[in-house]
Structure 1
Amino acid sequence: MKFTENQHFPEQAWYPKRDMPTKKELLAAQIQHIDIKQHNVVPLVDAMASMAFSSRDTARAASIYDMMLRDTDCGVILCLAGSLISAGLQKVFVDLIRNNMVDAIVSTGANIVDQDFFEALGYRHYIASDQYKYGNEDGVLRELMIDRIYDTFIDEEELRECDATTEKITNSLEHRPYSSREFIRAMGAYLVENGRTPAEGNNDSIILAAYEKDVPIFCPAFSDCSAGFGLVAHQHARQGKPMVSIDSAKDFYELTKLKIENPSTGLLMIGGGVPKNFAQDIVVAAEILGVDAPMHKYAIQITVADSRDGALSGSTLKEASSWGKVDTVWEQMVYSEATLALPLIAGYAFHKEAFAERTGKKWTQVLERAVVNA
């Protein structure tokens, strides 16, 4: 069958036209954040230890995280890459922070700003039905100003409010370079000052919990997120005048100082990319500064990437040992999607109360004391 230039293809003509759904109809079912406190997975994970493949790897990773937390000298660094908060993992990370199971966070900007801060402002992510998650209706979504993250939706108009809020925070700061950690702490202060706390009936957030527990958050590629739009708008308005900027070298130096201050460290890495490499590199950076810092004593990575394409996200932890970054005694790769593996690993350590003897290291205070004494 031949078709003229203006004719529709058969697959478009075979089906009756549907009325375009409304934005309200599409943004109806909210993503619900899983609560590891409500699910004791210890018996399940212990049983998985006697299985094979990814089950056994996941169980070993859970036992290493448990061990990492019971080693109270160890500083735990959580690395976040991929769309994790939009997928329903926000509460897991909040619970880790509030129970002293994390001492520092290294993340992509999207997780911290576009997703966590976004929800802290009162906005939500939504479930996308199967007909939308494969990209067949993205033109419709664009008309409605709905952004898609695989099988979740986010309201673009609300996201622009998030952009505007980061610009407002930027404009309120002294005009100088900041580490991303300093800027994110200012975001935490903004949430407190504007009543965005659990006590006020709002959902908790990673930024808020970290602010209150003195857990520093680093986003080494900070401008690659909603905050970047706020910073761009600020710098455009301040052309030729002093302005706020993000100093990525200061990020690296601050995290390296924490490694020097607390030589025993462990990594819990969700995904790979920049956060993974940034956290691993602080061992080498300390050596460059003349400090003989030991490799990360513990390391876990949850990823769906592998090493065949030579990319960083799939490089193994044993490979990192060749660079002098990660010890190979207590390390485990878990080849799994994060929403499956993380609740098991984190829930296992939580319900075994591995954190019972830990106190918060309050690394934010360590860094701010160093600034005062400089």
Structure 2
Amino acid sequence: MNDQSPINDTRKAELLSTVVEHVDITSFDARPIVDAMKKMSFTSRDLGRATDIYNQMLADKDCSIVLVIAGSTSAGGCMDLYAELVRNNMVDAIVATGASIVDMDFFEGLGHKHYQAKEIPDDDTLRSLYIDRIYDTYIDEVALQNVDHTIFEIAETLPAKAYSSRAFIREMGRYLTQNGAKDNSLVKLAFEHDVPIFCPAFTDSSAGFGLVKHQVDAMKAGKPYLTIDSIADFRELTDIKIKAGTTGLLMIGGGVPKNFVQDTVVCAEILGHDDCEVHKYAVQITVADVRDGACSSSTLQEAASWGKVSTALEQMVYAEATSVMPLLASDAYHRGHWKTREKRSFAKMFADD
């Protein structure tokens, strides 16, 4: 964790001069364009049906909704979109990659920014300037190291025991309510609205660096240290599925978060809940190709063969998520089914809340 200033500050400032502005789904009404797309074919019609299914989830008084996020859409401009879903009771739990939650949302919650790349110079040049690249988006590595330090500081204040990622992320949300620099942080809003966030690969993020430092320093001092319990993650999310009954999945990307949330049905059965419903609704937005047989590209219909998802109300949308999620989310926001939804407050299920 080196706070050394990069060389050539002028060049760095030039490259980090255009901030990514996150889309505001409340500022425009996508219903007319989504309605028009439903009458088209190809991906447009798929998106129209996916939007219908998400609206059905919101309108179903018995349905609890899990938002599943993989990839870098938060850095790419969807961060406030996800925050609005939490703010307006449009999702009840979140499963995501550590990068989405820690390196992107918590990062901005501390006051840092993502930047549009006006040009993509040689990546060795970026490294010399302490600039990290996500496709055409830049992150200041020095700012990212502040996240590492902050995670370390949070860990140092907590009792030395095992925590699920949900429990630790809740502490991150608590920290932002007292020290944050951004009201529209997903982590902060999830804390305030009792929406649990799970990151099944939590340490595959800046959190990992801070927690490793916490453990190493404690070991050197002969003191106990906290750990992240991934089994508790699985148990807690399965407990939510059992309590929720009817569930719907809104999934961006695939990977570990997608499989993790789908597996709760199987885990519930193993725990003796043979009456646990498969996920009734499911939407997945992805560009993954099924032909390689792996790489998180399995379809929702394939998941049905494992007893995880119903095939009646599922839709794959093969599109880059930042190009379609603003339409889907704006449509659902303006149709307003969320206004009469019961608030689940699943975070209150757990003893630490």
- TM-score using structure 1 length: 0.90
Q: Give the Å deviation of 1:203.
A: 4.4
| Structure 1 residue aligned with 2:283 | 300
Alpha-carbon offset, residue 85 of structure 1: 1.2
Matched, 1:287 2:282: no
Alignment correspondent of 2:16 = 27
* 1:53 corresponds to: 42
- 8 Å contact kept, 1:37–1:347: yes
Deviations 1:173-215, CA, capped at 9 Å, x for gaps: 0000000000000001111122x26xxxx34100001000000
Equivalent in 112, 115, 121 of residue 126 of structure 1: 115
Q: Are 1:36 and 2:25 an aligned pair?
A: yes
Count of residues paired in the alignment? 343
Q: Which residue of 2 aligns with 1:205?
A: 185
For residues 55-94 of structure 1, the aligned pairs below 5 Å read 55-94=44-83
Residue equivalent to 2:4: none
For 1:184, the equivalent position in structure 2 comes to 169
Structure 2: which 5+ runs fail to align? 1-7
The question of whether the paired residues in 2 share the 8 Å contact of 1:119 and 1:203 is answered with no
* Shift in Å, 1:154: 0.3
| Aligned-partner residue type, residue 359 of structure 1 | E
Q: Does 1:318 align with 2:301?
A: yes
Distance 2:82 2:343 in 1: 15
- In structure 2, C-alpha distance between the alignment counterparts of 1:144 and 1:306, rounded to whole Å: 35
Matches of 1:358 and 1:179, distance apart in 2: 28
Alignment partners' CA distance in 1, 2:336 and 2:184: 22
The ranges of structure 1 where at least 4 consecutive aligned residues each deviate by more than 4 angstroms after the TM superposition are: none
Q: 1:358 aligns with which of 327, 332, 341?
A: 341
Residue in 2 aligned with 1:166? Answer: 151
CA distance in 2, matches of 1:63, 1:312: 28
Give the C-alpha shift of residue 312 in structure 1: 4.9
Structure 2: how far apart are the matches of 1:171 and 1:97? 29
Structure 1 pair 312–25 and aligned structure 2 pair: CA distance change class (3 A): closer
Residue in 1 that maps onto 2:226 = 244
What is the alpha-carbon distance in structure 1 between the residues aligned to residue 43 and residue 80 of structure 2?
Answer: 24
Q: Is the 8 A contact 1:79 1:270 kept in 2?
A: yes
**Which residue of structure 1 aligns with residue 5 of structure 2?**
none
Instruction: State the one-letter code of the partner of 1:212.
Output: E
Matched position secondary structure for 1:315 = coil
For 1:20 and 1:263, how far apart are their aligned partners in 2?
55
Q: Which amino acid aligns with 1:356?
A: K
**2 CA distance for matches of 1:68 and 1:20?**
49
TM-score normalized by structure 2? 0.95
Deviation at 1:241? 3.0
How far apart are the structure 2 equivalents of 1:141 and 1:343? 30
In 2: Cα distance, 1:203 partner to 1:183 partner: 20
The alpha-carbon deviation at position 313 of structure 1 amounts to 2.0
Which protein shows a greater Rg?
Answer: 1
- Alignment partner for residue 226 of structure 1, among 206, 221, 224? 206
RMSD: 1.4
- Which secondary structure does the structure 2 equivalent of 1:355 belong to? helix
Displacement of 1:146: 0.5
Q: Gapped runs of 5+ residues in structure 1?
A: 1-18
Identical amino acids, percent of aligned pairs: 54
Secondary structure of the structure 1 residue equivalent to 2:337 = coil
